Chain A
């Protein structure tokens, strides 16, 4: 029964979408070439804006370690902290605080700027 629904739903949706498109009768002509020029106050670009951004492997790897190890420790903690109570909460708070200092340092060093 579920498989039939899985087949019928996309079929119905695509037929509905096609019907709306074909029966609407209104066509947008699209933008002309002059309209598509990027707005630079009247100026013009010299090159394409298809710029590549550097991956910045080293700072990204450090960030990964900071956030990922935090996550790794939070997984088993999440399983038991309801039973353990306020003490487990406080311990995890201290752990997160120490790691947040590292993240704050990285933030001030400009690691999160996408240049």
Chain B
């Protein structure tokens, strides 16, 4: 009876889902965050269902299998706009590829969860074989003997060896690992090889760059023909808000993160711009009252040259007040004035980001009333300057020099504040 009651309650609870994010999936992921039946978790150990969002490149099949095997039983997999990379003999393959199914994604996940819990659907077996990852056979007849702890290979893996501490020259143990394409705090697709001493990063090497993103078409259109400033500024605010939501979620300010996401969703179509302006006012008031803009001082300071590479709000957070909207008459009539900070660290970038979102919403409100148009050969985007012949490039190599010496939590916050992914042309994809 108690088990039946617990199961009934579990069926009504939101489904704990671990999202393995692939290519061309930003819009999908932003939608996923707002589905009410889904509780996105950051570790597969807390999830019942592995949701694969967007196509995963073949090079990462093994990593995906590793993550799949780390989910506790009962577990299932759902492929959302993704080519299935593995399937099981006894379980139906769940693939969602059309818009109609997309709207019912939450229901589908809940159904699968219910079937898993009641035993109607079998839990998926392991994909990798059940052997120790690095077996250690002893030398003797009964498996005894062999090399010892220090300098040896217990369970086939070397013990942590020492290296000099960055701060005060002591010799401390190092631990090196590769953090893979499905880590929640890094941009999807980024694979890095990290050496830690305790919490402090000694070395950060990029093995695989993050998946590139595409910008909304209004930015490309503004290069060739006049577009409505309201639409352009709404698209800018949308991109900046997604980054802000990411940062808020990394700092565990979940409800503020959801507010930012909801606001970004309202900026997609012009019919909801009015509500967006109202929700924006609430969000900014909450951000000021909250301590979010007081955190991060002195962390992740970038140099002037690195800031020039980034462009956009990152450069303006260091004091470079170049903004391509500055000389334009249409913008000047709307009351545009560039904002910038001085410090160039994590806190300055956050303050600058919030200030720019506020500014974009203000410009959008005024431009809707006046109907102004804008075109130029250089457009300001989140990822830096956009020109007809140069799209913003990938900047993840900068992380190698920037993150050494930072603690893990600080480093993750710094990565969250820098738009390091490359931008490519949007491919025509099915809805």
- Using a CB–CB cutoff of 8 Å, the interface residues on chain A facing chain B are 31-35, 37, 39-54, 113-115
With A51-B175, A54-B170 as known contacts, state yes or no: A42 contacts B180, CB within 8 Å. Answer: yes
- Residues 295-336 of B, flagged 1 when their CB comes within 8 A of A and 0 if not, give 000000000000000000000000000000000000000000
* Contact call A41/B183, Cβ cutoff below 8 A: yes
A54 to B197, CA, bound (A): 11
Nearest to B198 among chain A residues (CB) is A115
Q: Let me know if A50 and B159 touch, CB within 8 A.
A: yes
- Cross-chain contact A52 with B173 (CB below 8 angstroms): yes
Q: How far is the CB of A112 from chain B (nearest CB, A)?
A: 13
Tell me whether chain B's interface is mostly helix, strand or loop, or mixed: loop
Partner of B184, one of A31, A41, A47: A41
A interface footprint on B65-102 (CB within 8 Å = 1, 0 otherwise): 01101101000000000000000000000000000000
Contact at B160–A50, with CB atoms within 8 Å? Answer: yes
Stretch from B127-135, B240-248, B384-392 forming part of the interface with A: B127-135
Q: In the bound complex, do residue A43 and residue B63 qualify as a contact, i.e. CB atoms below 8 Å apart?
A: yes
* A32: contacting residue among B44, B130, B173, CB under 8 A: B130
Q: Does B172 contact A (CB under 8 A)?
A: yes
- Residue B367 interfacial (CB < 8 Å): no
B153-165 interface code vs A (CB 8 A; 1 in, 0 out): 0110111110001
Residues of B within 8 A of A47 (CB): 157-161, 175-176
**B160 smallest CB distance to A (angstroms):** 5
Kindly state whether residue B186 has any CB partner on chain A within 8 Å.
yes
A43 touches which one: B129, B159, B160, B191 (CB < 8 A)? Answer: B191
A40–B180 CB distance below 8 A: yes
Give A95 Cβ to nearest chain B Cβ, in Å.
32
Q: Check B121 for interface membership: any CB of A closer than 8 A.
A: no
27 contacts between A and B (CB under 8 A): A31-B72, A33-B130, A33-B133, A34-B70, A34-B126, A34-B128, A40-B177, A40-B179, A40-B183, A41-B67, A42-B60, A42-B67, A42-B181, A42-B182, A43-B177, A43-B179, A43-B191, A44-B133, A46-B176, A46-B178, A48-B159, A49-B160, A50-B159, A52-B160, A53-B173, A114-B198, A115-B172
The reply to whether A51 and B160 form a contact with Cβ atoms under 8 Å apart is yes
A-B contact count (CB 8 A): 115
A35 to B126, CA, bound (A): 8
- In the complex, are the beta carbons of A37 and B160 less than 8 A apart? no
> Cα distance A113–B199 when bound, in Å?
9
| A31 to B183 Cα, complex, angstroms | 22
A39-B67 contact, Cβ under 8 Å, with A50-B160, A54-B170, A115-B199: yes
Report the separation of the CA atoms of residues A35 and B186 in the bound assembly, to the nearest whole angstrom: 22
Instruction: Say if the beta carbon of B45 comes within 8 Å of chain A.
Output: yes
In the complex, what's the smallest C-beta–C-beta distance from B153 to chain A, in angstroms?
Answer: 10
Query: Does more than half of chain A's interface fall in helix, strand or loop, or is it mixed?
Result: loop
**Are A39 and B176 closer than 8 Å at their CB atoms?**
no
Whether the Cβ atoms of B66 and A34 lie closer than 8 Å is yes
Chain B residue nearest to A46 (CB atoms) is B176
Chain A residues contacting B175 (CB-CB under 8 Å) are 45-47, 49, 51
Q: Besides A44-B177, A46-B177, A48-B160, 6 other CB < 8 A contacts? A: A33-B132, A41-B67, A41-B183, A46-B178, A47-B161, A115-B198
CB distance from A10 to the nearest CB of B (A): 30
Residue of A nearest to B170 (CB): A54
B263 part of interface (Cβ distance < 8 Å):
no
- Which B residues lie within 8 Å of A41 (CB)? 63, 67, 179-184, 186
Which residues on the B side are within 8 Å of A54 (C-beta)?
Answer: 170, 172
Please tell me if the beta carbons of B154 and A48 are within 8 angstroms of each other in the complex.
yes
Which residues of B are found within 8 Å of A40, using beta-carbon distances? 177-180, 183
- Which B residues lie within 8 Å of A34 (CB)? 66, 69-70, 126-130
Return chain B residues, CB-CB under 8 Å to A44.
66, 133, 177-178, 180
**Which residues of chain B are near A53, meaning CB under 8 Å?**
172-173, 198
A75 to chain B, nearest CB (A): 36
Which residue of chain A lies nearest to B18 when distances are taken between CB atoms in the complex? A39
Which residues of chain A are near B43, meaning CB under 8 Å?
Answer: 39
Q: In the assembled complex, how far is the CB of residue B275 from the closest CB belonging to chain A, in whole angstroms?
A: 36
**Chain B positions within 8 Å of A114 at CB level:** 198
> Is B200 within 8 A of A37, CB to CB?
no
Asked if A37 and B69 sit within 8 Å, CB to CB, the answer is yes
A37-B178 in contact (CB<8A): no
Q: Min CB distance, A90 to chain B, in Å?
A: 34
